[in-house]
Amino acid sequence: MTAGDTRACGRPVRTEAYLDLFQMLTGIVLVAFMWAHMVLVASINLDLGGGRVMNAIARFFEATYMAQIGGPLIGFIMLVHFVVAARKMPFRAREQKAIWRHSVNFSHTDTWLWIIQAATAFIILIMGSIHMWTVLTSLPITAAKSAGRIQGGWWFGFYLLLLPVIELHVGIGIYRIGVKWGYITRANRAQLHGFDNRLTFIMIGIGLVTLLTFLALVKA
Amino acid sequence: MGRTLKFNIFRFNPEDPASVARMDPFYLEETEAMTLFIALNLIRENQDPTLMFDFMCRAGICGSCAMLINGRPDLACHTKTKDLPGDITLLPLPIFKLIGDLCVDTGTWFRAMNERVGSWVHTSKTFDPQEEEERMDNALAEQIYELERCIECGCCVAACGKANMVPENFMGATAFNRIVRFMIDPRDERKNDEYFEVVGNEDGIFGCLGLLGCEDTCPKNIPLQDQLGMLRRKMGFSQVKHLFRALLPAKRIAK
Amino acid sequence: MDTFYTDLVCVGAGLAGERVAIAAAVAGFESICLSVVPPRRSHSSAAQGGMQASLGNCCMGQGDCPDLHFADTVKGSDWGCDQEVARLFAQTAPVAVREMAFWGIPWNRVVAGKGVYYKAGKAFEKIESAERAGAITARDFGGTAKWRTCYTSDGTGHTLLYTMDNEVVRLGVKVHDRVEAVSLIHDGGSCMGVVARCLKTGKLRVYLGKATLIATGGYGKLYRESTNAVINWGDGAAIALNTGLIPIGNPEAVQFHPTGIVPTNILVTEGCRGDGGTLKDVDEERFMNIYEPAKQELASRDVVSRWMTHHMRMGKGVPSAYGPHLWLDIRHLGAQHIKTKLREVDEICREFLDRDPITQLIPVRPAQHYSMGGVRTDKDGAAYGLRGLYAAGEAACWDLHGFNRLGGNSLAETVVAGRIVGEKIVEFLKGHESDFKTSVVRQAVSREQKRIEALIGSGGNENVYELRAAMGDVLMDQVGIFRNHADLRDAVEKLQVIYDRCRKMGLRSSCVHGANPELSAALRLPGMVRLALCIAQGALTRTESRGAHAREDYPERNDRDWLKRTLAFWKNEDDVLPVLEYEKPSKVWEMPPGERGYGATKIICTLDPEICGLKPETN
Ligand SMILES: Cc1cc2nc3c(=O)[nH]c(=O)nc-3n(C[C@H](O)[C@H](O)[C@H](O)COP(=O)(O)OP(=O)(O)OC[C@H]3O[C@@H](n4cnc5c(N)ncnc54)[C@H](O)[C@@H]3O)c2cc1C
Ligand code: HEM
Ligand code: HEM
Ligand code: SF4
Ligand code: F3S
Ligand code: FES
């Protein structure tokens, strides 16, 4: 590289800028979806497992075709997000070794957060797909059907794993978007990160309660 | 006080064909106000004269003495032994080329960095010795100075997971900070698109994963996080208008 | 053997070296800068307080002009400087500051409106005019009539060096870092370049140039307690001295800075006192107001350092495990001021002293700081003794500072001299073709090769680090702030013993691969001891007190016998003492010797009509 190279010459390649923006946008959409999804599923708790509220909401989404169209659309966005975000993941053995050695020696919170995000991503890819396939191929959604799955035991274990995994990925994801794009600054980082952590715990809490409600209260 | 410190120091001399990479133990009685600068010199002068390390200002202002101190990059000269456990592991900074033991070649790396980012005021004007200086608001001067305080120690690069993964190419927080330093300087005539040429890519700001190792280790406490965020926003959003231009027919925009 | 050919071999990539290389590059000449560290780590980066130039922008600097700057500099030097050089310097300094601004320095600027400033611990009000708002401002420094010291917070040297190196990068000037010049190549008449040692591989190299510049900075590390960086060994002066042809000018003129922190001798800037900080003793009482009613804490450095030492000798020092010290008090300047204008000081106190300067006192005492002496050059920067050899910056005795340098004049010197000497070198290069005599080059290299081999195989039992420490002790204890015949006599003898022991140095490491720090130190030490002998012998011989050179047994400034510059030569390899010669400090006497206005001493006047301006009585 010589001194002259720094002046613009010809058309710059903007791909990376667009991809990065895209990664952020899909990330935000997915986070919004996940939190909304959690609230919707948790509606089962509102009438103490009666299922009327949840069923009503589910009917609304299906009647307006939001589930039929939105579902696959979310699936698609997830795929796109995966493809875009996977650029950042270390696939070469040398890179994996380097980041692992660095993270272990350095013991630094935000570096670990990213490792967690990258690791959870793979679990989500597989488990999220299975879950969506299952739910979307057996529409309509009803409280009874969901409870049936969960009370079967196998799905209970499945969700018990997927729940923290996705909430961690999402919680860390939104924090890191804030950092990368400069909305979380040196001045407010500690505060906002604390807030974000609390939100993640609350989401996991709600999810656990919901799972228990399905398991114990709802009649299959 | 009264501790005996154990130093585990990385040893390797690439110039010596017989040398193998290893960790050597050294023991030293701790004294009052001991810094790693004092300790390493004592070891060299009294125990092993071949031990290689770099110090210059010994005051935390020149950036010579960065190394991994129990895994964290920091300046050895301003690190006091009393703040460390009795077992101290010292490794050279990763990413930079090893010269020997704790010495790495930051000089070559930073020269390349400075060339790459065009670390100077780009201007079409020429200096006129008769002319008075251009006026500048003092607050802006202080803002520039804040970013100019980087001492090119390399800690932020060594602390960056991304740089550890792709050591050859990633520019590192110090480079991003340098670019913002010129962006906010009205004397530099470069436009966003010109900066984009330099950092608008995967080796540049879009390769940054936001790991904040840089922010959390910079010994000069430079607000790197804020510069990185600002740079990504500027570089990312400034390109959106190009996207719209490309997507929409030109005439519609003209209206 | 790697051999590099270029137009200008620039030994040193600090401010002075790089400024000269830039001048050469702009004129279309190629240069290679050598540096033992990456260029931005050069010691210039450690300068904190600022750079003097009579811009006169701020209200306290109004009416300033090169004439006043010139007068302050000559007074500061105790009339030991070259007045032609001082004149040239004062005139060019404003241009140099503005040029650096053009290249990107974020100089602090004038802020219009009311402000508070402190002097002698008391608050005063000042009003900056709106008309000058945004122009480069200045702070107060010792020994100046006006506020003249331009600054960027207290990182002035850092921003200057980074900006200078940015220009070097822009122009594509080559810098070979981690390369140490070990001797000059010359045929007795012209200089052809240097033999250098690569500190990455340990191999010898040859750099051949039509012109060679020495800009290696100061030699503070000869002393045990110095504010200087650990690489300020005085290489440049030593390799010049070793030729036997080039004299060191005024080696005995060594400056002690009043405020090195205890125990590490890290400097806290004169800006602390310039901005209103005060010195206090064990009773937390001020004392400079008693000794120097006019300038108080802001008398020149030599004066303040002496009074501090005197005060401690009177038992007024604060006892500590590291010996007595005094206090620097900047608490009254307030958190806002300290956090913006003195941030390095703030950081140094916190990191190295575990103290908060906003609420606590800072332990200080004088430490070696600056070498006024150096490779003697004429006003064009051309070294005495060899054609094609130049020197600039702290390594040179250009001679701007005489027997005491004013704070802020050294950064200014590096860029001003860099500009001026650079142009002179360009002139020289334009009219010059050189042929490099291979036999001379071969000889120079083989001499260094032999020294290395001798050291590695010597089996001697003297330890380089012990010898170096012994030298540092002698200089510190006996060639320090106050000097006297007995101590100096003894110091010279001790240094001679050390010099002799250098011949019996042996390495404990036999590794020939790579730089080998012990070998580097051993190669360097004999030159350092020679330089130390120049300092001690120069001081012993000079039976007067002038500037930083203070003889207890000769307290008066003796213009009659000693208004002259020392030139120290090491004429033969086997000599055990330097040969001292003398010359007049200045060709012109714009300002005849007089009172400095601080540090009152008795003056024995000169009767030389050329100097004092008096016509000899004719009858
Ligand atoms: C702590 C401190 C604070 C100061 N503050 C101020 C201040 O506020 N204002 C002011 O005016 N002055 C100040 N000074 C003085 C001033 O900083 C120096 O005098 C000035 O920067 C010297 O610049 P230079 O270019 O001559 O040398 P340096 O910057 O010291 O550069 C020397 C260069 O020579 C190289 N070198 C050395 N030996 C060799 C060799 N053998 N071979 C090859 N290269 C070699 C080095 O690597 C380096 O690049 C301060 C000094 C100190 C110690
Ligand atoms: C298919 C499975 C998924 C994979 C493989 C995946 C992968 C990744 C990876 C590797 C990152 C880090 C990228 C970086 O830091 O630059 C990331 C970021 C992110 N992910 Fe995922 N993810 C998946 C699913 C999801 C889902 C379902 C959501 C939300 C519901 C989500 C939300 C986010 C967010 C918000 C970010 C931060 C975006 C950013 O840093 O720009 N991800 N993802
Ligand atoms: C649009 C697509 C989606 C629909 C319609 C949907 C629907 C549902 C429904 C109905 C349940 C209740 C349990 C069940 O019936 O088995 C549920 C639970 C759950 N879903 Fe989804 N889901 C979708 C996408 C996702 C995605 C992308 C993820 C994460 C990758 C996810 C994670 C979970 C988790 C973790 C639970 C358990 C919640 C709890 O703890 O109670 N879902 N989802
Ligand atoms: S930004 Fe900080 S950590 Fe990075 S090189 Fe500069 S001073 Fe060192
Ligand atoms: S650590 Fe590295 S990934 Fe970015 S935020 Fe700092 S440069
Ligand atoms: S030696 Fe200069 S920063 Fe440590």
Residue C107 has pLDDT above 80, yes or no: yes
- HEC readout, A119-135: HHHHHHHHHHHHHHHHH
| Best residue of B12, B111, B124, B185 to probe chain C, by most C CBs closer than 10 Å | B111
Q: What is the pLDDT of residue B92?
A: 97
For residue C137, tell me if it sits in a domain.
no
Give B 165-194 residues with CB within 8 A of chain A. Answer: 165-167, 191, 193-194
| Structure-token pair, residue C410 | 């050294």
C337, C374: one domain: no
Which domain range does residue C502 map to? Answer: 446-578
- Answer yes or no: are the C-beta atoms of C42 and C13 closer than 8 Å: yes
Last residue of one domain, picked from the residues C368, C394, C420: C368
Backbone conformation region of residue C576, classed left if phi is above 0, alpha if psi is from -120 to 50, else beta: alpha
Burial zone of C597 (CB within 10 Å; 0-12 exposed, 13-18 middle, 19+ buried): middle
C320, C424: one domain: no
Distance from Cα B151 to the centre of ligand 4, integer Å: 6
Q: Which chains, if any, share at least 3 CB pairs under 8 A with chain A?
A: B, C
d(CA A159, nearest CA chain B) in Å: 29
Residue among C89, C91, C181, C82 nearest C389 (CA): C181
For residue C111, tell me if it sits in a domain.
no
C71, C81: one domain: yes
Q: What is the pLDDT of residue A132?
A: 86
Q: Considering chain B, what percentage of its residues have pLDDT values greater than 70? A: 96
Q: Considering chain A, what percentage of its residues have pLDDT values greater than 90? A: 33
Q: Is C91 on the interface with B (CB under 8 A)?
A: no
Q: Is A98 on the interface with B (CB under 8 A)?
A: yes
For residue C136, tell me if it sits in a domain.
no
Residue C291 has pLDDT above 50, yes or no: yes
C78, C92: one domain: yes
For residue C135, tell me if it sits in a domain.
no
Taking residues C222-227, report their average pLDDT: 94
Taking residues C368-389, report their average pLDDT: 96
Give C455's contacts in chain B (Cβ within 8 Å): none
Strands B97-100 and B72-75: unpaired
Residue A142 has pLDDT above 90, yes or no: no
Residue B253 has pLDDT above 50, yes or no: no
Q: What is the pLDDT of residue B83?
A: 93
Beta bridge partners of B92: none
C186, C37: one domain: yes
C356, C458: one domain: no
Dihedral sign from CA coordinates of A16, A17, A18, A19: positive
State pLDDT tens for residues B45-84: 999 999 999 999 999 999 999 999 999 999 999 999 999 9
Binned at pLDDT 50, 70 and 90, residue C615 comes out as low
Contact between chains at B187 and C102 (C-beta distance less than 8 A):
yes
Hey, is A138 helix, strand or coil? coil
For residue C112, tell me if it sits in a domain.
no
| Structure-token pair, residue A65 | 């075709």
State pLDDT tens for residues B109-139: 999 999 999 999 999 999 999 999 999 999 9
Q: What is the pLDDT of residue A5?
A: 43
Does residue B160 line the site of ligand 5, with CB under 6 A?
A: yes
Query: Catalytic site residues of C?
Result: 257, 273
**Cis ω before A140 (30° cut-off from 0):** yes
C154, C242: one domain: yes
Last residue of one domain, picked from the residues C430, C456, C479: C430
Binned at pLDDT 50, 70 and 90, residue A141 comes out as confident
Q: What is the pLDDT of residue A9?
A: 43
Q: How many separate domains does chain C show?
A: 3
State pLDDT tens for residues C457-490: 778 889 999 999 999 999 999 999 999 999 999 9
Residue A4 has pLDDT above 60, yes or no: no
Burial zone of C448 (CB within 10 Å; 0-12 exposed, 13-18 middle, 19+ buried): middle
Distance from Cα A146 to the centre of ligand 3, integer Å: 10
Q: What is the pLDDT of residue B56?
A: 94
Kindly report the average pLDDT of chain B as a whole number.
92
| Structure-token pair, residue C46 | 């450690």
Q: What is the pLDDT of residue A193?
A: 93
| Structure-token pair, residue B176 | 């991003």
For residue C343, tell me if it sits in a domain.
yes
As a whole number of angstroms, the distance between CA C535 and CA A201 comes to 71
Amino acid at C83: Q
Helices (H), chain A: 15-42, 52-63, 71-86, 93-106, 109-137, 143-151, 154-180, 189-216
For residue C123, tell me if it sits in a domain.
no
Residue B164 has pLDDT above 90, yes or no: yes
- Answer yes or no: are the C-beta atoms of C157 and C149 closer than 8 Å: no
Give A 3-22 residues with CB within 8 A of chain C. Answer: 3
As a whole number of angstroms, the distance between CA C536 and CA C252 comes to 7
Hey, is B237 helix, strand or coil? helix
Taking residues B228-250, report their average pLDDT: 81
Q: Is B38 on the interface with A (CB under 8 A)?
A: no
State pLDDT tens for residues C62-103: 999 999 999 999 999 999 999 999 999 999 999 999 999 999
Contact between chains at A182 and B213 (C-beta distance less than 8 A):
no
Amino acid at C407: G
Whole-model pTM: value is 0.93
State pLDDT tens for residues A76-122: 888 889 889 888 888 889 999 999 999 998 989 999 999 999 999 98
CATH number of the domain bearing residue C171:
3.50.50.60
The half-sphere exposure of B36 on its side-chain side, counting CA atoms within 13 A, is 31
- Closest Cα in chain C to B51: C517
Does residue B210 line the site of ligand 5, with CB under 6 A?
A: yes
| Structure-token pair, residue C455 | 């050291």
Amino acid at B251: K
Binned at pLDDT 50, 70 and 90, residue C614 comes out as low
| H or E stretch at C439 | helix C438-456
Give A3's contacts in chain C (Cβ within 8 Å): 169-172
Give A 151-190 residues with CB within 8 A of chain B. Answer: 176, 179-186, 189
Taking residues C198-225, report their average pLDDT: 95
Residue A218 has pLDDT above 70, yes or no: no
Contact between chains at C170 and A3 (C-beta distance less than 8 A):
yes
Domains of chain B: 4-103 (3.10.20.30), 118-124+134-254 (1.10.1060.10)
Which residue CA neighbors atom 5 of ligand 3 most closely?
Answer: A71
Which residue CA neighbors atom 2 of ligand 4 most closely?
Answer: B218
Q: Directed axis angle between helix A15-42 and helix B224-237, to 10°?
A: 100
Q: Is A85 on the interface with B (CB under 8 A)?
A: no
C245, C272: one domain: no
Which residue CA neighbors atom 26 of ligand 2 most closely?
Answer: A30
Q: What is the pLDDT of residue B48?
A: 93
Distance from Cα B66 to the centre of ligand 6, integer Å: 8
Residue among C37, C51, C38 nearest C418 (CA): C51
Name the closest ligand to CA B60.
6
What is the tally of helices (H) and strands (E) in chain B? 11, 7
For residue C616, count other CB atoms closer than 10 A to its CB: 8
C265, C362: one domain: yes
Give A 115-134 residues with CB within 8 A of chain C. Answer: none
Q: Is C54 on the interface with B (CB under 8 A)?
A: no
As a whole number of angstroms, the distance between CA B72 and CA B93 comes to 9
What would you report as the CA-atom Rg of chain B, rounded to the nearest whole angstrom? 22
Residue A6 has pLDDT above 60, yes or no: no
C318, C249: one domain: no
Q: What is the pLDDT of residue C491?
A: 97
For residue C120, tell me if it sits in a domain.
no
C163, C207: one domain: yes
Taking residues C333-357, report their average pLDDT: 90
Does residue A51 line the site of ligand 3, with CB under 6 A?
A: no
Q: What is the pLDDT of residue C344?
A: 85
**Dihedrals phi, psi of B190, to nearest 5 degrees:** -65, 145
Helices (H), chain B: 36-46, 106-117, 138-148, 155-158, 161-165, 173-183, 192-199, 213-217, 224-237, 240-247, 250-254
State pLDDT tens for residues B193-211: 899 999 998 899 999 999 9
Q: Residues with Cβ < 8 Å from A187, sequence gap 6 or more?
A: none
- Answer yes or no: are the C-beta atoms of C317 and C282 closer than 8 Å: yes
| H or E stretch at B67 | strand B66-69
d(CA A114, nearest CA chain B) in Å: 7
Residue C285 has pLDDT above 70, yes or no: yes
- Closest Cα in chain B to C199: B99
Task: Give this complex's ipTM.
Answer: 0.92
Domains of chain A: 3-219 (1.20.1300.10)
Which residue CA neighbors atom 13 of ligand 1 most closely?
Answer: C47
Contact between chains at C515 and B78 (C-beta distance less than 8 A):
no
State pLDDT tens for residues C19-51: 999 999 999 999 999 999 999 999 999 998 899
**Cis ω before C263 (30° cut-off from 0):** yes
- Closest Cα in chain B to A3: B115
C355, C425: one domain: no
- Closest Cα in chain B to A20: B206
